[in-house]
């Protein structure tokens, strides 16, 4: 928990940095070509990028960028305003978060991805789907499956 925390960092040259400044930095995690489970730091903005493999990426409480790379991945944004990119393969994208403003990016060749927005447990946010170059409105078939939106 947050009961026992370090509030500041002092360096030999006299520089003093508040702990919150470190929390606003981006924590970067890179995967491998294997099946990875990559979990971001809870109190940091995370940038998590997996390569190949069927991976599970999980963000933290802040604003995260999750990129699944290739193959079939599961991306879970968590709290914060997250950006989720499934990449090639058939991916499951769960922005999560209470009143989060999540962004989902789709490009040609990304496969059939499923977005899960758990509105039964969270208040609605302001989420956006951005389609890359070459994807037109007539190219998309959207289907509701319970609370899920499936795009193909």
Print the domain residue range for 45: 28-151
Q: Hey, which of 18-27, 38-47, 137-146 has the most confident mean pLDDT? A: 38-47
Helix (H) or strand (E) holding 19: helix 19-23
Supply the pTM of this predicted model: 0.79
Please write the tens of the pLDDT for every residue from 79-138.
Answer: 889 999 999 999 999 988 777 889 999 999 898 888 887 655 555 668 899 999 999 999
Indicate whether 11 belongs to any domain. Answer: no
CB neighbours (10 Å) of residue 45? 22
For the segment 8-26, the average pLDDT, to the nearest whole number, is 82
The residue whose two tokens read 């999980």 is: 58
Indicate whether 68 belongs to any domain. Answer: yes
Q: Is the Cβ–Cβ distance between 104 and 128 less than 8 Å?
A: yes
Q: How many independent structural domains does the chain possess?
A: 1
């Amino acid at each position: 928990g947050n009961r026992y925390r370090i509030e500041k960092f002092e360096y030999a040259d006299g520089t003093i940095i508040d702990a919150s400044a470190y929390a606003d930095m981006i924590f970067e995690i890179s995967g491998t070509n294997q099946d990875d489970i990559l979990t971001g730091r809870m109190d940091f903005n995370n940038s998590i990028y997996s390569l190949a493999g069927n991976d599970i990426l999980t963000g933290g409480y802040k604003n995260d960028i999750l990129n699944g790379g290739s193959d079939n991945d599961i991306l879970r944004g968590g709290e914060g305003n997250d950006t989720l990119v499934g990449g090639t393969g058939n991916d499951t994208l769960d922005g999560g978060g209470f009143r989060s403003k999540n962004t989902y990016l789709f490009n040609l060749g990304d496969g059939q991805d499923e977005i899960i927005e758990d509105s039964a447990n969270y208040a609605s946010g302001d989420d956006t789907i951005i389609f890359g170059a070459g994807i037109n409105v007539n190219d998309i078939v959207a289907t509701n499956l319970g609370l899920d939106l499936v795009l193909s």
